[in-house]
């Protein structure tokens, strides 16, 4: 459904913001929303315990999806085109330049809505 939708959609009917919002939820892969929530504040996506090898103490750890509404375009593009060797948590996406621009436009304008 998401694949069909984003490839055949006529974006002139909807605003750039709406198109970006749609991609945010359905970027042909796991929706950004699943980890980043609204995107305007850090979200704890997992907590786990790990034993410290030296001290033998169990420490609480967490994986946090950072707020993304203030990232620079270059960091955004870096992240969106990174592969699994660079982030162990962020999924790999295959978005077109046009899609990336709309998605970026959306996250940058989150505050204003
Ligand atoms: C499975 C969870 C998950 C999903 C889904 C996800 N992210 Fe992330 N994202 C993370 C985590 C965790 C980090 C921080 C670690 C890192 O940079 O790899 C991150 C980092 C980022 C960063 C860098 C923020 C910074 O300040 O360094 C951006 C930008 C970003 N994500 C955007 C997105 C967008 C846009 C989508 C959807 C296309 C998305 N993410 C989907 C988990 C996720």
Q: Break the chain into its structural domains and give their ranges.
A: 2-39+69-108
Atom of ligand 1 nearest to the CA of 88: 18
Query: Distance between CA atoms of 58 and 27, rounded to whole angstroms?
Result: 37
Q: What is the mean pLDDT of the chain?
A: 87
Q: Whose CA is nearest to atom 7 of ligand 1?
A: 90
Query: Are residues 79 and 93 in contact, defined by beta-carbon separation less than 8 angstroms?
Result: no
- Give the CB-side neighbour count of residue 111, counting CA atoms within 13 A: 9
Residue 83's region, left for phi above 0, alpha for psi from -120 to 50, else beta, is: beta
Query: Are residues 6 and 94 in contact, defined by beta-carbon separation less than 8 angstroms?
Result: no
Per-residue pLDDT for 7 more than 60? Answer: no
User: If you average pLDDT over residues 67-77, what whole number do you get?
Assistant: 95
User: If you average pLDDT over residues 5-30, what whole number do you get?
Assistant: 80
Q: Measured in angstroms, how far is the CA atom of residue 80 from the centroid of ligand 1?
A: 8
């Amino acid at each position: 459904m998401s694949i069909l939708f984003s490839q055949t959609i006529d974006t002139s009917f909807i605003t750039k913001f709406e198109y970006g919002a749609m991609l945010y939820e359905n970027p042909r892969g796991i929706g950004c929303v699943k980890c980043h929530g609204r995107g305007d504040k850090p979200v704890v996506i997992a907590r786990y315990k790990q034993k410290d090898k030296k001290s033998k103490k169990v420490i609480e750890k967490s994986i946090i999806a950072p707020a993304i509404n203030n990232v620079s375009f270059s960091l955004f593009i870096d992240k969106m085109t990174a592969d699994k060797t660079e982030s162990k948590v962020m999924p790999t996406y295959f978005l077109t330049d046009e899609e990336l621009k709309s998605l970026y436009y959306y996250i940058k304008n989150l505050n204003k809505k």
